[in-house]
Amino acid sequence: MVDIDRGGKLTWHGPQQLVGYPLVKLPIPIDVVGFVRDLERTLIEVCTAVGVATVPVEGRSGVWVAPEGEEPRKVCAIGMRVSKRATMHGFALNCANGLSWAENVIPCGIDDAGVTSLSREAGHRIAVADVIDIAADAMSELVAHRTSARVS
Determine, yes or no, domain membership for 79: yes
* Structure confidence at residue 6 as a pLDDT band (50, 70, 90): very low
119: amino acid identity, one letter: S
Determine, yes or no, domain membership for 68: yes
**Sequential DSSP letters for 36-94:** HHHHHHHHHHHHHHTT---EEETTEEEEEE--TTS--EEEEEEEEEEETTEEEEEEEEE
18: amino acid identity, one letter: L
**Residue 143 pLDDT:** 84
CB atoms within 10 A of CB 80: 21
Average pLDDT value over all residues in the chain: 83
- Exposed, middle or buried: residue 139 (CB in 10 Å: 0-12, 13-18, 19+)? buried
Instruction: Give pTM, 2 decimals.
Output: 0.82
Q: Which of 47, 76, 95, 108 is catalytic?
A: 108
Determine, yes or no, domain membership for 9: no
* Residues 6 or more apart in contact with residue 94 via CB below 8 angstroms: 17, 75, 76, 115, 116, 117, 118
Q: For this structure, is 76 an active site residue?
A: no
Determine, yes or no, domain membership for 4: no
| Mean predicted confidence (pLDDT) in 9-30 | 81
Range of 108's domain? 17-147
Determine, yes or no, domain membership for 86: yes
CATH number at residue 107: 3.30.930.10
How does pLDDT run across 62-114, given as a tens digit for each residue? Answer: 999 988 888 888 999 888 888 888 887 789 999 998 876 656 555 555 666 67
CB atoms within 10 A of CB 122: 15
Determine, yes or no, domain membership for 135: yes
The β-bridge relationship of strands 86-94 and 60-65 is unpaired
Buried/exposed 24-42: b ≥16 CB within 10 Å, e otherwise: bebeeeeeeeebbeebbeb
Determine, yes or no, domain membership for 106: yes
Determine, yes or no, domain membership for 152: no
Number of domains present in the structure of the chain: 1
| Cross-strand partners of 78 | 91
